[in-house]
Amino acid sequence: MNIQQISVFLENKPGRLAHVAEVLKNNSINIRALTIADTSDFGILRMIVSNPEQGYEVLKKAGFTVKVNTILAVEIDDREGLFYDLMNLCDKNGLNVEYTYSFVEQSSNKAILFLRIENSDKAIEVFSKNGYKLLTANEAKKI
């Protein structure tokens, strides 16, 4: 139920993001969703890509500090209030969300929420029990 996310350490200086994008482009790797967390000195670029294993290898080869880690991807309907429902569920069950970002599928009217949760095993259990659909690694590659 865990899916793979690539994180890249980036210094806050011009051209770094372009370089990451260039490496992925040259290897025909598609970025499905991304987010950047930044401080005054550096940032962490987090991405869901079409081929995380290859993405990791090519970025590493290009000299980036890269890590692959796992997060959860929850599919919900793209409607108001549903994000609240999910967050409320986390709150009720003592699940601490470290960060989250989302991706909207225009064709199916669905949204996918990527979540990094402290206790991910418990989260999987809580989400499944409450009828949420968690994407598998294979499904995530195809979004």
Partner 1 sequence: MIWNKEFETMSRKQLTLLQSKRLSSLVRKIYATNPFYKSKMDAAGIKPSRIKDIKDIAALPFITKDEMRTVYPYGLLACPVDNIVEVHTSSGTTGKPVVDAYTKKDIDLWGEVMARTLSMGDTTKSDRVQNAYGYGLFTGGLGVHYGTRKIGAMVIPISGGNTNRQLQIMQDFGSTVLTCTPSYSLYMAEAAKEMGIDFKKLPLKTGLFGAEPWSENMRKEIEETLHIKAIDIYGLTEIIGPGVAAECERQNMLHVFEDHFFPEIIDPKTQEPLPDGEKGELVFTTITKEGTPLIRYRTRDITYLSHEKCGCGRTHVRMHRILGRTDDMLIIRGVNVFPSQIEEVLLRMDGIEPHYQLIVERKGNLDCLEVQVEVNESVFSDEIRGLEVREKKIEHALHEALLISAKVKLVEPKTIARSEGKAKRIIDKRVI
Which residues would be at the binding site for partner 1 (CB under 8 A)? 5, 7, 9-11, 16, 37, 39, 41-42, 44, 46, 60, 63-67, 69, 98, 116
Residue 93 tokens read as 């069950």
CA distance 126 to 86: 10
Nearer to partner 1, 100 or 132 (CB): 100
Residue 97 is which amino acid? V
Alpha carbons 66 and 60: distance in angstroms, whole number: 6
How far is residue 49 CA from its own chain's centroid? 9
CB of 4 to partner 1, least distance (A): 12
Please state the closest distance from residue 44 (CB atom) to partner 1, in A.
Answer: 6
Least separation, in Å, of the C-beta of 98 and partner 1? 7
Closest to partner 1 by CB, 19 vs 32, is: 19
Which residue, 130, 35, 29, 34, is CA-closest to 74? 130
Q: Which is nearer to partner 1, 19 or 110 (CB)?
A: 19
Residue 67 to residue 61: CA distance in whole angstroms: 13
Q: Which is nearer to partner 1, 58 or 89 (CB)?
A: 58
